[in-house]
Amino acid sequence: SVWNGLQALPGDCEVVAVHDGARPLIQPAQISRCLAVAAEMGAAASARRVTETVKRADAAGLVTEAVDRDGLWIMETPQAFRLGLLREAYAAVIAAGGLVTDEVSAVHGFRHPVQLVENLSPNPKITVPGDLETAAGLLGLDGR
């Protein structure tokens, strides 16, 4: 769907942001920051630092090791890019028969650096029903 959207953009479009509807609490200022960094650097993505303790576990759920969280980030959207760069990266993924879970993966695989833009505002991904309650709480709604 992203590839189709990229093909539909007009030729004078220079920078594009991809945002998923599963993150409805994004703040306009964060979108603007991502677009500005992408215009300058070519690629930028909203992200937040991993602050929780992280463990690796085996298939049975038994802890096997601690994971150093230094340098770990949780990717968010929007992810913003110079249009030509993102088109080239996706064309390479498609030509290789590959799949990517986000646009950063496509561009990073194309060997272009991606600048993370730290998001300090809550932008949780809505994946399971309980996430709706979390979002409602962040919005100050009581669920009615």
Please write the tens of the pLDDT for every residue from 82-101: 999 999 999 999 999 999 99
pLDDT, tens digit, 9 for 90 and up, residues 7-52: 999 989 999 999 999 999 999 999 999 999 999 999 999 999 999 9
Instruction: State residue 1's pLDDT score.
Output: 87
| pTM attached to this predicted model | 0.89
Q: Which residue has the tokens 């590839």?
A: 3
Q: Do strands 115-118 and 43-49 pair parallel, antiparallel, or not at all (unpaired)? A: parallel
The tokens describing 121, both together, are 């505002």
**Cβ atoms of 79 and 101 closer than 8 Å:** no
Residue 13, phi then psi, degrees to nearest 5 = -75, 125
